[in-house]
Amino acid sequence: MRTSSTNSIMIGIAICDLIVLSENVYERVQGYWFFNYDNPCVNDFKYWYLYSLHVGEILQTIFEKASFGLGVSLALTRLVIMKAAGTTLKISKPLFGYLLILVLVGLSSVHSLYYFRIFSFNPMGNWEPIETCTGYPANYSEPAFYRGYQDNKIRSQIVTRYKMINGVFRILVSVAYPILAILLIFEIRKSAKFASKALNSKISEERYRTCRMIIVMTVFYVIASTPTGFSEYVQLFVTLGYNSIWGTLLIYGTYLISAVVCLNASSHAFINFAMSSKYRQTVKTCLGMEKQQQQQGSMVLVSASKNQSHS
């Protein structure tokens, strides 16, 4: 797959999505199986556990934003390359894709760390198991911690700036991606019509399939990015009570958005498999299917040469 910038960008999207999904799996496994909040016999305020969730949240935030940025960059890069068909561009080189990944991950890291630097972990006494808990010695206790803010004076300012930038980014993704996708679809359809006349129907059908996959990818990106950007602005300008209708919708909406983001990340593997022949070839090679086909082909070639020699 390391033959063009678009393939490099798809590799970057896959890595970002893998990190985001891994963090979600880690949080769910730890929360439901090991540190269940409803279990009074487990100290879910351990320092290392809270710190691991904190680091996981940072990684999820960084690579989730980077994935959205790479998705838009993928559409833009494809569009520019197709517009300049027949010419060699520097942005079509794999190195451009790798540099773009580093730049977007770096910018996302700076923005995320600007926000997460305001948190600190402070002791809040000792945790003690209740009398019905077994497996603990008498008078057992563990130190308990909570995640709080280092400085409440600058907290409001940092949170406001962070949500403002994050909301703008999400909304730009939800606006820019459909525009780029529509322009790219027109270019692909034009290329497919030319291929059906000058080349063959197989190439034309593959390009039409790419067109359909771009539409699917666009829908997922817009659904995953628009609600989050909108909710960021709602929290900035509207004070929501915890028990209010809007507050309840926002809380459950956050869970729904998280599920959509995971679905969006999971769908990229299937979308890329359908869009890229290099991606399909790489997957087959990793699964051992491509090697087997090559061996079968060489066996047929050998047998054919033997038959020719006998004749």
Q: What does the pLDDT look like over 50-59, one tens digit per residue?
A: 999 999 999 9
- pLDDT of 196 > 70? The answer is no
CB neighbours of residue 292 within 10 Å: 11
pLDDT confidence of residue 205 = 61
Burial of 305 (0-12, 13-18, 19+ CB in 10 A): exposed
- Higher pLDDT, residue 206 or 223: 223
pLDDT confidence of residue 101 = 94
pLDDT confidence of residue 28 = 82
pLDDT confidence of residue 306 = 39
Residue 300 lies in a domain: no
- The amino acid at 10: M
Q: What torsion do the CA atoms of 279, 283, 288, 291 make, to the nearest 10 degrees?
A: 0
pLDDT confidence of residue 165 = 86
Domain span holding position 224: 5-285
CB neighbours of residue 10 within 10 Å: 24
Mean pLDDT of 44-51: 89
- The amino acid at 204: S
Residue 290 lies in a domain: no
Task: Give tens-digit pLDDT for 249-292.
Answer: 665 566 666 666 666 666 666 766 666 666 677 767 777 776 54
Residue 84 lies in a domain: yes
pLDDT confidence of residue 295 = 43
Residue 215 lies in a domain: yes
Residue 119, domain CATH: 1.20.1070.10
pLDDT confidence of residue 251 = 59
Residue 308 lies in a domain: no
pLDDT confidence of residue 297 = 43
- pLDDT of 240 > 60? The answer is no
Q: What percent of the chain has pLDDT over 90?
A: 11
Residue 293 lies in a domain: no
Task: Give tens-digit pLDDT for 84-105.
Answer: 765 667 888 888 989 999 999 9
Distances (CA, A) of 251 to 120, 214, 228: 24, 31, 12
Q: How far apart are CA 229 and CA 238, in angstroms?
A: 14
pTM of the model: 0.72
Residue 43 lies in a domain: yes
The answer to whether 200 and 92 are in contact (CB under 8 A) is: no
Contacts of 34 (CB under 8 A, 6+ apart): 42
The answer to whether 231 and 209 are in contact (CB under 8 A) is: no
- pLDDT of 243 > 50? The answer is yes
- pLDDT of 118 > 80? The answer is yes
Number of domains in the chain: 1
Residue 299 lies in a domain: no
